[in-house]
Chain A
Amino acid sequence: MAKHVSIETISAYIDGEAKDPRAVALHLQGCAECARLQVELSKLSTHLNALPEPEVRRDFARDVTAIVADDRAQRMRRWMPATAQIALAAALILAVGLMFALRDEPSEVPSIVAENRVAEETPGVSMEDHILNQLSQAALEDTSGTEVVLVAGLAGSGANSSGVSTDDMVAVLASTGMLNELADEWSASEDYDTALASLNQAESQKFHQLFATYSRNAVLGDYDYEMGGAIGW
């Protein structure tokens, strides 16, 4: 039986993001089943694109500007002591306001990404946030298998720049569901073999133990096979 291309490949091909679009096109010409799937996904895409865009109410932008002005005014009022508003000159009021504003600002200004992450905002940076930030940063670098290497590296080495123990790190990842999520996605990713191949045997074994302990997915069975095939055990 001829080998089919994965739905992931067809999906990426539709979006112009396939690694080898020529090879995909050639396959689709000769495979009725894959060609039918491509047509169905393309039709779906067409209908999604045709979903109506809601009309935004006319005064939306004006309301935002008003909210923003109110927000700014409230923040300024909080920073200025009440007595300063009565007696002092504008320059002195501004100086006192700035003094209070600087004192209320955190000493290390969090980035926009940190302020708006899905995890609850905390005044400091918790261990969990630190680990998640490391993983997020690695993800942003978009290096093939970066997350795999990072997790396995942290697990395998037992020492990392954050000063967090391997067991703590693993516990955090497990509690946030990240390990299950990552296992679920990596098993379907074409980058998976490449990622595993980049690990040395010790890291791979540790990584495998990590998933064996924490993963709830049946895909773990495939992991055993795939890992063995990928790294030549």
Chain B
Amino acid sequence: MEEIGVLVDGKRGEPLRRSAGALGGLEERSDWELIALAREGNPLAFTELVRRYERPVVHFCQRMVRSREDAEDIAQESFVRVHRYIDRLKPSAKFSTLLFGIARNLTLNFIRDSGRRGRGRTYSLTEEGNQERALEDESMRPDRFARLQEIEERIDDGLALLSPKHREVLVLRELQGLDYATIAKVVRCRKGTVKSRIARAREQLRRHMEDLGGQNL
């Protein structure tokens, strides 16, 4: 049996023990099935939904606002909002589209309210723990590691220089692998606009890399 530190009657800290049978294979349920179960009061269903999307949502937020702590806060708020309006959600679109749309709006609000444009503590290979993990990879020789670190920093800086509307579409396309139609729904604009914004974002990033002498990408 697996012990999970979740909730019982809204109180934190009461561990539950579950068997695979009792959960009914939540991992195999679709997103909207989990939503339906969460509506019925099943907290584990919503937890499963969070686990399913926590990484991509935090990753998106982190690439938008750069600060990892802020990214996790925003990602958390995104899930809280989903749960707050869970009774009103309709399965007329993919759940991920809805979730990224909420996260996107919250990141833009954050950027606007903080007056920042992506400045802050970044996730980097030099961060403790990340460096150790990277060096455990035998293919990551020191020189290769240093080179990748340099490229990563340049690209990260370049992303931060993009306007939020250009950064978000590039991040959704490159890091989340969303197609143009889905991105258009997330950011609420035409597909043609997504296409032109992505192209401009790439061009700006390419010029940034050139300016830094990064032609040998």
Partner-binding segment picked from A85-93, A112-120, A157-165, A214-222: A112-120
Task: For residue B212, give the distance in angstroms from its CB to the closest CB of chain A.
Answer: 13
B193 partner, pick from A11, A66, A111, A189, beta carbons under 8 A: A189
What number of B residues sit within 8 Å (CB to CB) of A? 74
Could you give 29 example pairs across A and B, Cβ below 8 Å?
Answer: A7-B203, A12-B199, A17-B195, A40-B217, A41-B202, A44-B202, A44-B206, A45-B174, A45-B202, A47-B155, A47-B217, A49-B175, A51-B155, A56-B54, A56-B58, A56-B72, A57-B72, A60-B58, A61-B47, A61-B54, A64-B47, A115-B81, A115-B85, A136-B188, A139-B184, A139-B193, A140-B184, A142-B191, A144-B192
- Name 6 extra pairs, CB < 8 A, besides A44-B205, A54-B68, A117-B105: A53-B175, A54-B59, A57-B72, A67-B76, A69-B12, A112-B89
* Closest residue on chain A to residue B107 by CB atoms: A118
- Pairwise interchain contact A51-B192, C-beta atoms closer than 8 A: no
* Closest residue on chain B to residue A69 by CB atoms: B10
- Pairwise interchain contact A11-B62, C-beta atoms closer than 8 A: no
Contact A40 B79, CB 8 Å, known A11-B195, A56-B55, A65-B6: no
Chain B residues with CB under 8 Å of chain A are 4-7, 10, 12, 43, 46-47, 50-51, 54-55, 58-59, 62-63, 68, 71-72, 75-76, 79-81, 83-85, 88-89, 98, 101-102, 105-106, 108-109, 112, 123, 125, 129-130, 148, 151-152, 155-156, 170, 173-175, 179-181, 184-185, 188-193, 195-200, 202-203, 205-206, 209, 217
